[in-house]
Amino acid sequence: MHSKFGFLSYEISHIIRQRFNKAAEPIGLTHAQWRALVHLSENQNCRQIDLAEILEIKPITLVKQIDLLEESGMVVRNKDTDDRRAYRLSITDKAVAIIQELWKIADAVESEVLATLSEEERRLMTALLDRVKSSIATCGSPP
């Protein structure tokens, strides 16, 4: 029998992103942009390349997201004083308020997706997924 964990986790993640994107449409941001904002808020003044690494995406993909976030007044690019080719990123006050709105959307989507589980099942599943993530994050490259 084949394992379904990877397939199911991808499918669930895809559904969550779709529902988030639909709910966040009036705000004008996508799940990917929200994810970039959240990680940037936790790593203020980091270089674009470092944020791409944190997000585990290609730098060019991040550049497109940052362009849109900068145009909307949520991110500021500043020249890196140590490397004239690099930019450092920071979020604006506007972004802080929008991040809070997007957290509300994320919480609502999560509640909807997990409605079939009891509170204890949700806690257990979250704990198990955290453990799996921690384990694979420290393992190195895939087999």
DSSP letter for each residue of 27-73: TT--HHHHHHHHHHHHSTTEEHHHHHHHHTS-HHHHHHHHHHHHHTT
Confidence label for 70 from pLDDT (cuts 50, 70 and 90): very high
The domain that holds 95 is classified in CATH as 1.10.10.10
Confidence label for 84 from pLDDT (cuts 50, 70 and 90): confident
Q: Does 10 reside within a domain? A: no
Q: Cβ(80)–Cβ(87) under 8 Å?
A: yes
Q: Does 72 reside within a domain? A: yes
Q: Decide if pLDDT at 2 tops 80.
A: no
Confidence label for 75 from pLDDT (cuts 50, 70 and 90): very high
Q: Does 138 reside within a domain? A: no
pLDDT given at position 143: 52
Side-chain half-sphere exposure of 17, counting CA atoms within 13 A: 12
Q: Decide if pLDDT at 63 tops 70.
A: yes
Each residue of 20-52: pLDDT tens digit? 999 999 999 999 999 999 999 999 999 999 999
Each residue of 100-136: pLDDT tens digit? 999 999 999 999 999 999 999 999 999 999 999 899 8
Mean pLDDT over each residue of the chain, to the nearest integer: 91
pLDDT given at position 128: 94
pLDDT given at position 121: 96
pLDDT given at position 68: 94
**What is the rounded (10 degree) CA torsion for 30, 34, 35, 39?**
160
Domain count, the chain: 1
Q: Does 6 reside within a domain? A: no
Domain range for 118 is 25-130
pLDDT given at position 83: 86
